[in-house]
């Protein structure tokens, strides 16, 4: 297995966008190791006199200050999940199409490459742009670079519209579903399994909940013209003491992916109403994000991409912008089903298509 490539030369943002993608993918940036790439980005933007460059930890912000009537945030994360023999990258032919294979190609360095090239080249966009490249997206939310930046520089998030470079196959995916994790807990009484009738089996008490989940039909909820399919699933089960003991406690963890029209409180109330006889504990919850596609900026962007907007079912950082009242969409190259996969790979044509669409929109050459 080849060793990961460490940066030895400057990042050339005048290169074509596929070459930039390969260059940054060959720099290992597993969460916590984004510093070397952040250094290269700051250096590469040093000659872009149209940009104000700000660094906070390993998050880099570059923004124009042209006095435009409207401002857009365009963001992408620098980190990846752990490498597993898939760095350095390589080019392959898959079904007659040229793809770039390797960690981060989909999630989401191809999108970052598009952003970096445009940030460097577009000195006179039709809107002011705040570009954000942030660290620690692939780990616990407490470490997220966007969240950290929001605490220390909330002014940088002032905008009329936001785009997150998550992989969407070069299509627009508006907003995102919210996510809720909730534990159902049952209690029983321990006993020797040879005399099970003396005890009370907590695991058996989960059976009605599992039957209810198996029969549950998730809703599809229309929000701002997009149909968000919800999901309610059992994702973890804990219980048992030993192989000869009737368990006195069991926990079933549920994950509810809920439409962005619902609040967290409404989502919690809905799940608890389905399981009224169980003790419940909320362990994690994040609001979804409405797509805000009624905004003229969003409509112009969808027109520039040239495809019908779709909903984003998974949770993404667009929710951070939505919580601030900033409508946000996901847009980037790559199939999200390949994100984090060992055979992660991106269609090179999608990278080019994303660059063209964003360039067209930011320069006003839509239609």
Residue 54 CA to residue 118 CA, distance in Å, equals 17
Q: Which residues contact 309 (CB under 8 A, 6 or more apart)?
A: 171, 172, 173, 174, 225, 226, 291, 293, 302, 329
Q: What does pTM read for this prediction?
A: 0.87
How large is the average pLDDT for residues 237-253?
97
Q: Which member of 128, 137, 230, 317 is catalytic?
A: 137
265 is catalytic: no
Look at residues 10, 74, 77 and name the one whose alpha carbon lies nearest to residue 45. 10
Query: Would you call 341 exposed, middle or buried from its count of C-beta atoms within 10 A (0-12, 13-18, 19+)?
Result: middle
What are the tokens at 367? Answer: 């239609």
> Which pLDDT score, from 0 to 100, does residue 78 have?
98
- What is the tens place of the pLDDT at every residue in 259-283? 999 999 999 999 999 999 999 999 9
- What is the tens place of the pLDDT at every residue in 306-361? 878 999 998 899 999 999 999 899 999 999 999 999 999 999 999 999 999 999 99
Give 294's pLDDT tier (boundaries 50, 70, 90): confident
> Which pLDDT score, from 0 to 100, does residue 1 have?
39
Percent with pLDDT over 90 in the chain? 88
Pairing of the two strands 245-246 and 161-164: unpaired
- What is the tens place of the pLDDT at every residue in 134-179? 999 999 888 999 999 999 999 999 999 999 999 999 999 999 999 9
Cis, peptide link before residue 332, omega less than 30° from 0: no
Scored b (16 or more CB within 10 A) or e, 7-27 reads eeeebebeeebbebbbbbbbb
What's the chain's average pLDDT? 94
Q: Which member of 26, 34, 58, 79 is catalytic?
A: 79
79 is catalytic: yes
What are the tokens at 29? Answer: 């940036």
Query: Torsion-angle region of residue 154: left (phi > 0), alpha (psi -120 to 50) or beta?
Result: alpha
């Amino acid at each position: 297995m080849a060793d990961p490539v460490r940066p030895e030369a400057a990042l050339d943002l005048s290169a074509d966008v596929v070459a930039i993608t390969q260059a940054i993918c060959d720099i290992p940036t597993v969460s916590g190791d984004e510093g070397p790439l952040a250094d290269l980005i700051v250096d590469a933007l040093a000659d872009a006199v149209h940009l104000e460059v700000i660094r906070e930890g390993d998050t880099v912000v570059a923004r124009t200050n042209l006095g435009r009537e409207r401002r857009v945030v365009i963001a992408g994360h620098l980190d990846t999940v752990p490498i597993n023999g898939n760095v350095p990258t390589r080019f392959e032919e898959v079904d007659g199409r040229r793809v770039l294979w390797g960690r981060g190609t989909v999630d989401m360095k191809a999108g970052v490459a598009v952003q970096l090239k445009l940030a460097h080249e577009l000195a006179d966009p039709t809107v002011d742009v705040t570009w954000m490249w942030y660290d620690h997206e692939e780990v616990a939310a407490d470490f997220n670079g966007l969240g950290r930046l929001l605490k220390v520089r909330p002014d940088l998030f002032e905008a009329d519209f936001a785009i997150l470079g998550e992989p969407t196959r070069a299509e627009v995916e508006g907003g995102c579903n919210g996510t809720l994790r909730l534990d159902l807990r049952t209690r029983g009484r321990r006993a020797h399994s040879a005399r099970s009738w003396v005890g009370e089996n907590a695991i058996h008490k989960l059976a009605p909940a599992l039957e209810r989940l198996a029969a549950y039909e998730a809703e599809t909820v229309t929000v701002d013209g997009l149909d968000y399919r919800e999901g309610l699933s059992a994702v973890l089960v804990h219980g048992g003491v030993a192989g000869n003991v009737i368990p006195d406690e069991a926990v079933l963890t549920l994950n509810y992916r809920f439409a962005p029209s619902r609040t967290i409180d409404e989502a919690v109330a809905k799940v608890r109403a389905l399981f009224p006889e169980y003790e419940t504990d909320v362990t994690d919850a994040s609001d979804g994000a409405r797509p805000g596609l009624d905004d003229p900026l969003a409509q112009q962007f969808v027109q520039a991409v040239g495809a019908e907007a779709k909903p984003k079912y998974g949770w993404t950082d667009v929710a951070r912008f939505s919580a601030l009242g900033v409508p946000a969409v996901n847009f980037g190259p790559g199939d999200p089903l390949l994100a984090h996969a060992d055979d992660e790979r991106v269609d090179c044509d999608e990278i080019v298509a994303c660059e063209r669409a964003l360039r067209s929109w930011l320069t006003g050459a839509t239609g």
